[in-house]
Chain A
Amino acid sequence: MSDSGSPGAATAGARLDSFSYDDVVVRKFLWATIIWGLVGFLMGLIVAIQMAFPAFNLAPWFAFGRLRPLHTNAVIFAFAGNAIFTGLYYSTQRLLKARMFSDTLSKVHFWGWQAIIVSAALTLPFGFTQAKEYAELEWPIDIAIAIVWVIFAVNVIGTLVRRRERHIYVAIWFYIASIITVAILHIFNNLVIPAGPLKSYSIYAGVQDAFMQWWYGHNAVAFFLTTPFLGLMYYFMPKAAEGPVFSYRLSIVHFWTLVFMYIWAGPHHLHYTALPEWASTLGMLFSVMLWAPSWGGMINGLLTLRGAWHKVIDDPVLKFMVVAITGYGMATFEGPMLSVKSVNALAHYTDWIVAHVHTGALSWNGFLTFGMIYWLAPRLFQAPLFSKKLAEAHFWIASFGIILYVVAIYSAGVTQGLMWRAFDETGRLAYPDFVETVARLVPMYWVRVAGGSLYIVGAILFAYNIFRTWKARPVTYEVPVVKAPPLARVSAPPAHAPAPVPAGAWARFVSLGWHRKWEGLPITFTVLTTVAVVVASLFEIIPTFLIKSNVPTIASVKPLTPLELAGRDLYIREGCFNCHSQMVRPFRYETERYGDYSKPGESVYEHPFLWGSRRIGPDLAREGGKYPDLWHVRHFENPRAISPKSIMPAYRHLLTNEMDFDGIQARVDAMVMLGVPYGEAVTGAPAMARRQAAEVAASIVQGGGESGFESKEIVAMIAYMQRLGRDAQQVVLGTNAAKHVHVDSVAPARAPAAPGGSR
């Protein structure tokens, strides 16, 4: 320790290295953060308007189902991602007293990441998606992400190796854990079998896929939106407050507790689904335990301002940070609460979750980023901030925007959750028509549009303020030369705290230098963090893979026919899973509304699973046979012609787009590679699909509809819709009716006459 820290402490005669920090890449990331932030927020506003005003779904590529993933990817990976890199590249160099390992790697990281963002914007609106939340990007882009991420990791770890500061400050621990864990999450959740240049199927199916996805999804929140930002907090908060963090000890405990616990909590996203109960309970317990470290961290952040609260009045940087940390506290209070099963039963599939996410994203990630950039801009552009008043205006406008947003959407969530479970005095559903529970929310959706708009107005002021600050920059930036002694090979004991030689082996063990050495070894540290994360992940996930009894098979569940598979791919392309779940929970108010609850064995061929996470429209797990084929044609053509209050986009293009029958074979082949027993379809999928398409088209004509649909996409979509839940129904019939249904002959039994009413 004594040979580093402040260079002044260097022993006389020690050689001093001269070096400078690479702020060029920091400035680049800063601009990327601002630009992608504006894009991501704007996408959010667009999808918010689409929910309040469905006619705003202007084109197939401009519909909610395709733009919602673009919004989430843009704000998470483009805005928050670039914000992380901005702060990480700035603070890591300074904390380690070393320039980044390689300027070239920094540049490749920057441009590679931006190229990935652009490729997301060029694929998601056109329906190329893996259908897994926050992991929508298709396999070639996933490979690019993995490569760029490894480059980033090498750059950071290389810098650690070359550092001139013995001790690695806690912020860097958070960065390393994030880098490692995100790599593991990304790789394992995106293992797929390609079925085309931009089409793939997850190697996992049903319950296992759901488990992988929410292990990923939850930890993407943890290790992309939480731990890296905590690293930023532990660096920039002391900077802005001009004093050390309240308790460094607490920050260390905070770190290890999060690393140990976060990774276990994923199953709370799947309560009351077909997930095994033990897994769900485990997820709940670990989530509730997370309360402690999260609040410890929040308190630690806020108390860093002890004795400096008066500064908050004048300093917009501190204002943003205080609200950010408070937002972290609120979101991490609410997260464990939502993971409690009984609370989750009400909140799951509703806007409550959306409100929860936005509390965290708008305040914690957004405000911490704004605060950090307001602090960084004058230093990076070497000019005073253009306008403190404008920054204050940004703060108040954005804060008011957040309040409007979350209050409206919390009430929307609770309202809809209560309406779904309400029974009248005769014991029947009080709101049997799903659309009633949607129509009730539309006014709140307009309030969200207003709140989101305010947040964007604030962000525009922010961008303008930073732009004007940049305009006032000097002709050439000064690049200060820093001097620090190189790191000695072996860590010396603290010079001014000479420890007495402890008696006994145990005392030596707990107090001697082994741990200082251990901390000083970045590779060892990285490996141990990885072990903690991997071991926890394995013990959470492997049991569903290794204990057969966890997924009881159902004999009547067969693979989809080739046409239905093609229809399922259309369902994925249009992003239907963003608004429709396929998972009936075992509650009376669910089974009354939708039908029998979903079983794990039903989704054994579901690559990927499509259980969904939000019901903007009704659950579709039992949709097959509810309505005749013609009803679906009319409904896809114009949902409001059937159900005037529906907010579903129209899918007229399904009625006119030609069906690509010949492309089906490659998809069936990919499914066969995954072990789905396709039988006859292995050789003749297109012919089988054409036969079934003709049957569906004939049924449309029979019902009084137009002819000529047998070559259009709509027949595949309808075939899929009519198949949903049919296999499970046969379990009930199975005792006295056909026990074995041939996959080839499964054209679902035609539904009875139209029930007529809206839904």
Chain B
Amino acid sequence: MSLTELMSNAGLSRYAEVALLLFFFAFVIIVWRVFSPSRKQLLERQARLPLDDDHASPSRPSAE
């Protein structure tokens, strides 16, 4: 029995719709969370992470 035959008989077609719904709701939850006001401050601090390392700490040079 080939893979094609095996899969044809497995009755999996419903799963596509299930996946679509799961993806859609996952996406809605992400957007909701990202835009919830309680996270504003946190995200603003996180946005500055790339700028943090410029003045990360007192550094002391050493030879490589």
Contacts and interface: CB of A to CB of B under 8 A. Distances in A.
A243 B44 CA distance: 12
Contacts of B2: 675
Pick the most buried of B5, B33, B45, B63: most chain A CB atoms within 10 A of its CB.
Answer: B45
Nearest to B63: A476
A301 to B, nearest CB: 13
A675 B30 CA distance: 45
B59 A249 contact: no
Interface string B1-22: 0111101101011011001001
A24 to B, nearest CB: 7
20 contacts: A1-B42, A1-B45, A7-B56, A24-B64, A167-B46, A243-B51, A248-B44, A253-B31, A256-B27, A260-B23, A260-B26, A477-B64, A478-B61, A481-B60, A482-B57, A482-B59, A510-B32, A511-B38, A539-B16, A546-B8
B1 to A, nearest CB: 12
A239 interface: yes
A753 interface: no
Contacts, number: 130
Nearest to B3: A545
A312 interface: no
Contact of A169 (B16, B22, B49): B49
Q: How large is the interface on B (under 10, 10 to 19, 20 to 34, 35 or more residues)?
A: 35 or more
B49 A167 contact: yes
Nearest to B43: A248
Contact of B7 (A95, A545, A675): A545
A539 B16 CA distance: 6
Contact of B50 (A171, A536, A675): A171
Which of A20, A239, A546, A548 has the most chain B CB atoms closer than 10 A to its own CB? A546
Contact of B30 (A91, A252, A479, A547): A252
Interface centre among B10, B13, B15, B53 (most CB of A within 10 A): B53
Given A257-B27, A546-B10, A7 B44 contact: no
A646 B52 CA distance: 59
B50 A95 contact: yes
| Among all A-B residue pairs, the 5 with the closest Cβ atoms | A546-B7, A480-B59, A248-B47, A244-B47, A94-B53
The binding surface of chain B is classed by DSSP as: helix
Given A482-B56, A483-B57, A542-B12, 7 more contacts: A95-B50, A479-B63, A482-B53, A482-B59, A511-B38, A543-B13, A546-B8
A5 B12 contact: no
Contacts of B23: 260, 532, 535-536
Which of B3, B10, B33, B49 gathers the greatest number of chain A CB atoms within 10 Å? B49
Nearest to B10: A546
Nearest to A477: B64
A170 to B, nearest CB: 8
Given A95-B49, A248-B43, A497-B42, A481 B62 contact: yes
A235 B41 CA distance: 20
Contacts of A677: none
Interface string A220-248: 00000000000000110011001111001
Given A6-B56, A546-B4, A548-B5, A238 B27 contact: no
Given A515-B33, A545-B4, A548-B4, A244 B51 contact: yes
Contact of A542 (B7, B33, B44, B47): B7
Given A482-B57, A539-B15, A546-B4, A249 B43 contact: yes
A499 interface: yes
Interface of A: 1, 5-7, 16, 20, 24, 91, 94-95, 97, 165, 167, 169, 171, 234-235, 238-239, 242-245, 248-249, 252-253, 256-257, 260, 476-484, 494, 496-497, 499, 510-511, 515, 532, 535-536, 539, 542-543, 545-548, 675
A238 B64 contact: no
A369 to B, nearest CB: 18
A510 B36 contact: yes
A249 B34 contact: yes
Contacts of B4: 545-546, 548
Contacts of A546: 3-4, 7-8, 10, 12
Nearest to A542: B7
Contact of B51 (A239, A497, A539, A545): A239
A253 B34 contact: yes
A497 B3 CA distance: 56
B45 to A, nearest CB: 6
A482 B31 CA distance: 36
Nearest to A475: B63
B57 to A, nearest CB: 4
B2 to A, nearest CB: 8
Contacts of A24: 64
Contacts of B42: 1, 494, 497
A5 B32 CA distance: 25
Contact of A238 (B5, B32, B50): B50
B44 to A, nearest CB: 7
Contacts of A675: 2
B57 A253 contact: no
Nearest to A252: B34
Nearest to A500: B38
A494 B46 CA distance: 12
A165 B49 contact: yes
A256 B30 contact: yes
B51 A242 contact: yes
A515 B39 CA distance: 11
A245 to B, nearest CB: 6
A97 B30 contact: no
Nearest to A1: B42
Contacts of A253: 30-31, 34
Contacts of A480: 59-61
Contacts of A16: 57
Contacts of A499: 38
A605 to B, nearest CB: 14
B19 A169 contact: no
A511 B43 CA distance: 14
